Amino acid sequence: MNAPRPLLLVGGGGLAREVLAAVRLLPALWRPVGALDDDPARHGADLDGLPVLGGTDLVRSTDAAVVVCVANAHRPLGRLNVVARLGLPEDRWATVVHPAASVAVGAEVGPGTVLLAGVVVTAPLRLGAHVVAMPHVLITHDDEVGDGVTFAGRASLGGSVRVGEGAYLGQGSAVREGVSIGAGAVVGMGSVVLADVPAGEVWAGNPARRLREGNGS
């Protein structure tokens, strides 16, 4: 049996704690060795027993696997920006699937993606790289999920939904079958999306309507 691979978490906030909890349920796969955060105030902090070692520049001092634990509705493209800045080869990115997630046989989960407890992927499909699906997210048949998408807890997609790169779907949001969510768009918590959401816009409500342009960063 291969030894568990050393793992670095990028980010020192709440999502990093949740990913760490999932990783600790997968001891045969991962051995978390520390977190990295570019906020100097976090350096030396204790993240549920894992040390925050320093800034992300340290990522090149090791060959440990890396997972980016950054998600913010105000900066929906933030995780992909971190990934691009780090510039690591694909084989450095860790894919973390909580043992209580249900992923259909034949589904492909991209590098750097995190699926937390209760996530259900009902049929074979491909999830992009660096996707984060928080607890109890539902992804159904023929959905297309681009790189860097964030699903907050209990977000759900009907069939044949297309979600563009870096979009953010808020907690408890629901998307009707056949609808498209554009790249970098944000869907507010509890929203019911019945129509296409253009790239870069912020929509909320039931039914969801456009609120404003997002900043996308």
43, 130, 136, 141: which is the annotated catalytic residue?
141
Q: Which amino acid is at 97?
A: V
Are the C-beta atoms of residues 143 and 119 closer than 8 Å to each other?
A: no
Distance of alpha carbon 123 from alpha carbon 105, whole angstroms: 7
Whole-number Å distance between alpha carbons of 112 and 90: 8
How far is 192 from 203, CA to CA, in rounded Å? 10
Angle among Cα 199, 74, 205 to the nearest 5 degrees reads 65
141 a catalytic residue? yes
Determine contact, residues 133/147, Cβ cutoff 8 Å. no
Catalytically annotated residues: 141
